Amino acid sequence: MGACASSSRASSVPPSLEEKKTFKWMIDGFSSLLDKGDVWTYSSVFEIMGIKWYLKVNPKDKKNGEEYVSLRLELSNPSLKIDTVVNAYFKFLIYDQSYGKHSEHQVTHKFQTASTSSGTSYMIPLKTLNSSGFLLGDSCVFGVQFVKVVTAKANDKSEILFVQKMNTFNEAKVYTWEIEDFFALKNPSYSPEFELDGHKWLLRIYPSGKDKNENYLSLILEMKDIPCKNSANLVELSISIKDQETANHWKRTGRCQFSENSKSWGWPKFMSLEDFKNSSNGYLVKTKCCIEAEVAIVGRSNEKKLKSKQAVTVPSISSAQTTFKWRIDGFSSLLDKGEGWTYSRVFKIMGLNWYLKLNPMDRKSGDETEYVSLNLELCNTSLKPDTVVDASFKFLIYDQTYGNHNEHQVTHKFQTASSSSGTLCMIPLSTLKSSPGFIFNNSCVFGVEFIKVVAAKVKDTSETLFVQKINAFTEVKAFTWDIEDFFALKSPSYSPEFELGGHKWFLSIYPTGYDKNGNYLSLYLHMKTQNIPNQNSAELVDYCIGIKNQETGKHRKEAGRCQFSKNVDNWGFNKFMSLEDFKDSSNGYLVKTKCCIEAEVTIVGTSKMTGTIHFGP
């Protein structure tokens, strides 16, 4: 984005606001912005109190059938360090340029990686704006005044944005970048420079994602010849990846300002690499792809820095390191898999090992409504016999747009007989889908915040889980372990190693049970983790372990969807089945001394664990 100059009408702004904590945004040609309809237009990026922000205005937002002018404050991602919370207290302003009766709306908000938007929109009916001194000579002045913020000192900045009318001169110009060998690209790679609408540009592509998470393709448009230090161009841009077979191109559009402060705009998560590489979509044909950029300059702005007279004292805040945030990219793919629990990575909070469980299509007894359910489990390895862990905590579903997070507080005593929180955080799936902040760019963020527990404090831990789409390539692989003499087995005994899905595995069996109580048969699947790159990586695996009925084909099966990592390289079932049922000859599981165990394995996702938290692009 860019930045713009302050208004020459000094009398329209009261002296009390002429401090170094206010940003003013004058839009000349406001009627032209109205012509463009119900779309958010971004201000330049400006710096206040050592942090970069920008305003967003929608001149034709809707509420209850009525049109409103909406104003919103956004914190620029580069200004926000991971795990940082910025407490801000500020006022939205619409300046009355005739009578000085400015309209104010006071807001307090915590900005963080999961919520970079103020959420609360300042809304004024469009008819009110049109019938007052707010609109003077087709110009409107918006602003934000910071009262208190956790940041350093900064000077006021002011912007004037002029939006041109739509006409044939605003026609978008097009550039096509043909890439002959996508797999030869570096991360990043650059297109040749090209000239559109009187300026020089280039495209930047990150084949394995800007954050190198290898799940998304990133595409960025960069302006090479910014006019001057205090100027910016308002640009309507569109970047597409062409479908070379059916012309159903994948396209993203925006209206942003390019300036010395913000020379590039784009999408770190332009599209999933899974969709891009799927040959049926036509985006990648053999090794070739075509990227198209459309650019139209529809306005210009200038920026002016105002000298300040006094400093602003800023307090500091501290945040307890007691929260685990779990972000799931490709959430729609998880919904495709239907009802079933998905496990997070094992994480350590307050000296104990925990994990979250998520069922995206759970149901209550006697209720056909589908719910997203969240449950907390304490790992058996963290529980000593007869130990009780008193814990008070909150389940969280993060609103990534408005910051109105969904919270559910629980108190539970964890012990060997009850390692699960029992109480579920349940939200109707329809509510999750209809609230744009909960599912944002096909990502959903869940979490648990510990309030009180018998343990020491540790830093936040975060996981990003990417769930692959179900398609013909997600083939289930199977291994069969024929045991000739069950009664000769030790406890435990191990199958030969086998390779499925690019990893090596083996099964373990406890003929008299994991706890040696002699009542149950225990079965586990183990991954040889040498192919997992580091401690912070994991594979999400759909697996099924079965004992074959050698006579009727009615096998006994148990299934799970869990993450295998260097920390936890095995999952399975302590009480797979009772030894009484297993040894009952009429069931066909044990014929004389022989039994057959089958394991099915499908890798359906990957995750990364970090000591820091990443949300959004």
Per-residue model confidence as pLDDT tens digits over 584-593: 988 899 999 9
- Looking at the fold, whether 56 and 159 belong to one and the same domain comes out as yes
Q: How far is CA 364 from the centre of its chain?
A: 28
Q: Judge contact between 332 and 316, C-beta under 8 A.
A: no
Task: Report if residue 558 sits inside a domain.
Answer: yes
Asked if the model's pLDDT at residue 433 lies above 70, the reply is: yes
DSSP-assigned states of every residue in 159-172: EEEEEPPPSGGGPP
- The per-residue pLDDT of the chain, averaged, comes to 77
Asked if the model's pLDDT at residue 306 lies above 70, the reply is: no
Q: Strand pairing of 406-414 and 347-349?
A: unpaired
CA atoms within 13 Å, Cβ hemisphere of 365: 0
- Looking at the fold, whether 481 and 605 belong to one and the same domain comes out as yes
pTM, two decimals, is 0.45
> What percent of the chain stands above pLDDT 90?
18
- Looking at the fold, whether 127 and 187 belong to one and the same domain comes out as no
51 CB neighbour count, 10 Å cutoff: 22
Task: Report if residue 181 sits inside a domain.
Answer: yes
Name residue 220's amino acid.
I
* Predicted pLDDT of residue 172: 59
Q: How far apart are CA 407 and CA 533, in angstroms?
A: 35
- Looking at the fold, whether 420 and 457 belong to one and the same domain comes out as yes
* Predicted pLDDT of residue 205: 94
DSSP 531: G
* Predicted pLDDT of residue 320: 45
CA nearest to 255, candidates 216, 205, 301, 210: 301
Tens of pLDDT, residue by residue over 436-459, are: 778 887 788 888 888 888 753 334
* Predicted pLDDT of residue 484: 94
| Helical spans, DSSP H, in 7-56 | 30-35
Q: Judge contact between 497 and 528, C-beta under 8 A.
A: yes
Q: How far apart are CA 402 and CA 404, in angstroms?
A: 5
- Looking at the fold, whether 69 and 213 belong to one and the same domain comes out as no
Read off the tokens for 282: 């036509």
Higher pLDDT, 318 or 538: 538
DSSP 211: T
Read off the tokens for 577: 């089945």
Choose from 267-271, 414-418, 575-579 the range with maximum mean pLDDT: 575-579
Higher pLDDT, 465 or 192: 192
For residue 296, give the 3-state DSSP assignment: strand
Asked which of 113, 130, 163 is the last residue of a domain, the reply is 163
- Looking at the fold, whether 290 and 339 belong to one and the same domain comes out as no
Query: What value does the CA radius of gyration of the chain take, rounded to a whole number of Å?
Result: 29
* Predicted pLDDT of residue 81: 63
| Helical spans, DSSP H, in 56-212 | 126-130
Asked which of 144, 163, 182 is the last residue of a domain, the reply is 163
- Looking at the fold, whether 33 and 85 belong to one and the same domain comes out as yes
Domain residue limits at 533: 477-609
Q: How far apart are CA 107 and CA 170, in angstroms?
A: 37
Q: Strand pairing of 139-149 and 135-136?
A: antiparallel
Choice among 300-304, 368-372, 373-377, 578-582 with the minimum mean pLDDT: 300-304
- Looking at the fold, whether 46 and 122 belong to one and the same domain comes out as yes
Residues 573-594, mean pLDDT to the nearest whole number: 91
Task: Report if residue 22 sits inside a domain.
Answer: yes
Residues 397-410, mean pLDDT to the nearest whole number: 81
Choice among 15-24, 179-188, 499-508 with the minimum mean pLDDT: 15-24
* Predicted pLDDT of residue 163: 43
Phi then psi dihedrals of residue 495, to 5 deg: -75, 165
Residue 309 falls in which region: left (phi positive, over 0), alpha (psi -120 to 50) or beta = alpha
* Predicted pLDDT of residue 617: 29
Tens of pLDDT, residue by residue over 42-58, are: 777 788 888 888 888 88
Q: How far is CA 523 from the centre of its chain?
A: 35
Q: How far apart are CA 564 and CA 504, in angstroms?
A: 12
Asked if the model's pLDDT at residue 429 lies above 50, the reply is: yes
- Looking at the fold, whether 432 and 510 belong to one and the same domain comes out as no
* Predicted pLDDT of residue 548: 92
Task: Report if residue 117 sits inside a domain.
Answer: yes
Task: Report if residue 1 sits inside a domain.
Answer: no
Task: Report if residue 529 sits inside a domain.
Answer: yes
Phi then psi dihedrals of residue 574, to 5 deg: -60, -40
* Predicted pLDDT of residue 312: 29
What separation in angstroms does the CA of 84 have from each of 112, 317, 324, 459, 614? Answer: 6, 10, 14, 12, 11
Place 341 in a pLDDT band, splitting at 50, 70 and 90.
confident
- Looking at the fold, whether 287 and 368 belong to one and the same domain comes out as no
Q: How far apart are CA 494 and CA 513, in angstroms?
A: 14
- Looking at the fold, whether 33 and 134 belong to one and the same domain comes out as yes
Choice among 79-88, 144-153, 154-163 with the minimum mean pLDDT: 154-163
Query: Which residues are 373's β-sheet partners?
Result: 359, 426
Tens of pLDDT, residue by residue over 70-103, are: 888 888 766 666 567 788 889 898 888 776 778 8
CA nearest to 356, candidates 447, 452, 454, 458: 447
Residues 140-155, mean pLDDT to the nearest whole number: 70
Task: Report if residue 371 sits inside a domain.
Answer: yes
CATH number at 234 reads: 2.60.210.10
CA nearest to 298, candidates 265, 266, 254, 239: 254
Place 315 in a pLDDT band, splitting at 50, 70 and 90.
very low
Asked if the model's pLDDT at residue 8 lies above 50, the reply is: no
Task: Report if residue 472 sits inside a domain.
Answer: no
Asked if the model's pLDDT at residue 1 lies above 80, the reply is: no
540 CB neighbour count, 10 Å cutoff: 24
Cβ-count burial of 40 within 10 angstroms (0-12 exposed, 13-18 middle, 19+ buried)?
middle
Asked which of 163, 195, 228 is the last residue of a domain, the reply is 163
Place 317 in a pLDDT band, splitting at 50, 70 and 90.
very low
CA nearest to 231, candidates 480, 4, 406: 4
CA nearest to 389, candidates 361, 351, 355, 425: 351
Tens of pLDDT, residue by residue over 489-531, are: 998 999 999 988 788 999 999 998 887 777 899 999 999 877 6
Query: Which residues are 372's β-sheet partners?
Result: 427
Place 226 in a pLDDT band, splitting at 50, 70 and 90.
confident
Please report where in the chains the tokens 């045991």 appear, as a residue.
483
- Looking at the fold, whether 26 and 147 belong to one and the same domain comes out as yes
Tally of structural domains, the chain = 4
Tens of pLDDT, residue by residue over 554-571, are: 889 998 888 888 878 888
